[in-house]
Structure 1
Amino acid sequence: MLKAAYDDKLVDELVAAYEEAKRNYYLGGHRLSAVEGGRFCEAAYRILEDVAKGKHTPLGGKLQTMEIADYLASRATNGLSRSVRHFIPRALRIVYDIRNNRDAAHLADGIDPNLQDATLVVHVLDWVMAEFIRMSGGTSPEQARVMVEGLVSRKIPVVQDFGLFPKLLLPGTRAGDHVLMLLYHKGPREVSYTDLYQWVPAAMRKHLRRTLRTLEEKALVHQESETVHITYAGENTIETRRLLEMPIAD
Structure 2
Amino acid sequence: MKIHAGSLFGEIPQSLRDELLGEYQQIVTNYYEGGWGASELSAGRFCEVAYTIIRGRADGSYPLKGAKPHPFDQKCRALETETRLERGLRLLAARILPALYEIRNNRDSGHVGAEVNSNQMDSSFALSASSWILGELIRVFHNTTTELAEEAVRQISEIRTPAIWTNGSVRRVLKDGLKLEEEILLLVASSGGCSISNLADWSGNANRSYILKILKKLHDNRLVEAADLDNIHSTPKAAAVVRELIER
Fold conserved (TM > 0.5)?
yes
Contact 2:173 2:186 in 1 (8 A): no
- Structure-2-length-normalised TM-score: 0.80
The Cα shift of 1:219 comes to 4.0
- Show the 5 A alignment for 1:18-167: 18-55=24-61, 59=65, 63-64=69-70, 65-74=72-81, 77-161=82-166, 164-167=170-173
Q: List runs of 5+ in structure 1 lacking aligned partners.
A: none
- Paired AA for residue 245 in structure 1: I
Q: Which moved more, 1:219-228 or 1:117-126?
A: 219-228
- Comparing 12-21 and 54-63, the one that deviates more: 54-63
Separation in structure 1 between the aligned mates of residue 201 and residue 85 of structure 2, nearest angstrom: 51
Question: Cα 1:228–1:134, aligned 2, differ >3 Å: closer, same or farther?
Answer: closer
Percent of pairs with identical residues? 26
1:207-218 matches, within 5 Å, as 207-218=210-221
**1:205-232: CA deviation from partner (whole Å, max 9, x where unpaired):** 8844443443344344454676472441
Q: Distance in 2 between matches of 1:80 and 1:117?
A: 29
C-alpha contact (below 8 Å) 1:157/1:246 kept by paired residues: no
Q: Give the aligned length.
A: 240
Q: What are the residue-to-residue correspondences of 1:202-241 with 2, within 5 Å?
A: 207-223=210-226, 227=230, 229-232=232-235, 236-237=237-238, 239-240=240-241
- Aligned amino acid, residue 10 of structure 2: A
- Structure 1 residues 15-67: Cα deviation after superposition (integer angstroms, max 9, x where no partner): 11111111111111111100010101111111121111235678576512234
Report if the CA contact (8 A) 1:179-1:200 is conserved: no
- Aligned partners of 1:3 and 1:225: how far apart in 2? 28
After superposition, the CA RMSD in angstroms is 3.1
When residues 175 and 49 of structure 1 are mapped into structure 2, their CA distance, relative to the original with a 3 A threshold, is closer
TM norm structure 1: 0.80
Aligned to 1:244: 245
Q: Deviations over 1:126-183 (max 9, x none)?
A: 0000000000143111111111122232234434458825135232x34433332232
Rg: which structure is higher?
1
What is the distance in 2 between the residues matched to 1:60 and 1:197? 39
Displacement of 1:103:
1.1
Q: Please, which runs of 5 or more residues in structure 2 have no aligned partner?
A: 1-6
